[in-house]
Amino acid sequence: MKTPPPQSPPSLFTLFLAFSRLGVTSFGGGLSGWIMREFVHSRKWISEKEFVSGLALSQAFPGINVVNLSIWIGYRLRGGKGALAAALGMVVPAMGVAILMAMAFAQVAHSRTAHLALAGIAAAAIGLSLEMGLRTARHAMDGLAPILIMAGTFAAIFVFRLNLVGVIAVAAPCSIAVAWLRTRRRHRRSKPL
């Protein structure tokens, strides 16, 4: 389902605040799932299809995936300044909170309750990541070739425990080739005879 873009893009300050809130309130991983809920479902600033494209790009680039994703969303909404505002919003406030929490955790590091709380947070984050993974997989499974590439990648990494870089070095060109062939076929079909 395609979400229409907003009438006017958010201000740089609004973008910074939105990413700041996500960065400081999303604990235990699964942040890309929170980003999807916030920007696709709640604020409707980008469509689910655009989000999936941005997520794929952010995972293909070096660096931290959610920072890459924030840069992509910020750029998509407000250009270069939006990319900077989104990245700063994602990193700076969260870094401050992380430093404060690390100092606090050092005081309770030997507490069993603190470790149980962290395990609960991690479980919730895994569930959120799984939900987002299933949603994004739905968009990618639009033919036999993408399904085979996804299944092969999963089996290579999870079952056979092959090196991630090697698997990506094989799977990425295969995915690009499939997308290129599909685009080429669509282009041929759209040309008048």
- pLDDT tens readout for residues 105-120: 888 888 888 888 888 8
Q: Which distant-in-sequence residues (6+ apart) come within 8 Å of 77 by Cβ?
A: 9, 10, 15, 45, 46, 86
How far, in Å, CA of 154 to CA of 159, rounded?
A: 7
- Mean pLDDT in residue range 39-62: 91
Q: What is the pTM for the complete model shown?
A: 0.66
- pLDDT tens readout for residues 51-88: 988 998 898 888 889 999 999 999 999 999 999 999 99
pLDDT number for residue 143: 87
pLDDT number for residue 100: 92
**Residue 13 Cα to chain centre, angstroms:** 22
**Residue 170 Cα to chain centre, angstroms:** 22
The Cβ-side half-sphere exposure at 96, using a 13 Å CA radius, reads 8
